[in-house]
Amino acid sequence: GEQVEQLPSILRVQEGSSASINCSYEDSASNYFPWYKQEPGENPKLIIDIRSNMERKQIQELIVLLDKKAKRFSLHITDTQPGDSAMYFCAAIDTNAYKVIFGKGTHLHVLP
Amino acid sequence: DTTVKQNPRYKLARVGKPVNLICSQTMNHDTMYWYQKKPNQAPKLLLFYYDKILNREADTFEKFQSSRPNNSFCSLYIGSAGLEYSAMYLCASSIGTASAETLYFGSGTRLTVL
């Protein structure tokens, strides 16, 4: 079935450095790629997304890149802060279908 | 209010017993979903309601039921819980048919089957 591979599963970075999470997908019909952040004890929340007509999108310290040919997309957090410590989920979606296929998640730890 | 509420937060159930989980949202969203999340696994879509129409995933078709008596409320029902049902159950909602819309998640119900 359709899968989204997300790596790494655990990521530890020093405060102030950057963090990168990579996802790949199988379904070439996927055209929408959201990222969700889940803080401990909280519900997952959308933090940034990118559609297939874009290659790069930035919201403050969050950058997402999309390579449609390689079927890969990534999240980059620049200047990480303790508040960035959380679980991050990527997803790939075919907007003509109903399915949201999530990756397994990346547990980001920002170390002081 | 952009919250999705789930009750209870934690649920203990015995093998073979039924389980009913509850979700509500007041955003007037058309679509409500139930996901199952196990450790080290991706959230797995179990079923969703678009308005009054229930769609269940093929591989979980017989394991889960749901009802949506009104726009705000959606339940997930397990007729006979097995150990493999132990997981976090996440409810979510979205405007419209969802695929391109933001999902608003609840905090989840952690179900433990003993």
Residues A97, B43: C-beta atoms closer than 8 Å: no
Share of chain B above pLDDT 90, in %: 73
Q: What is the pLDDT of residues B2-25, one digit of tens each?
A: 689 998 999 999 999 999 999 999
Q: Is the predicted pLDDT of residue B100 greater than 80, yes or no? A: no
C-alpha distance from A62 to closest chain B C-alpha (Å): 17
Residue B2: the pLDDT is 61
**What b/e sequence results for A82-106 when a residue is b if at least 16 CB atoms lie within 10 Å of its CB, and e otherwise?**
eebbbbbbbbbbbbeebbbbbbbbb
- Residue A9 pLDDT class (50, 70, 90 cuts): very high
Residues in A closer than 8 angstroms to B55, CB to CB, are 98
Q: What is the pLDDT of residues A13-47, one digit of tens each?
A: 999 999 999 999 998 888 899 999 999 888 899 99
Residues A89, B42: C-beta atoms closer than 8 Å: yes
Q: What is the pLDDT of residues A70-88, one digit of tens each?
A: 999 999 999 999 999 999 9
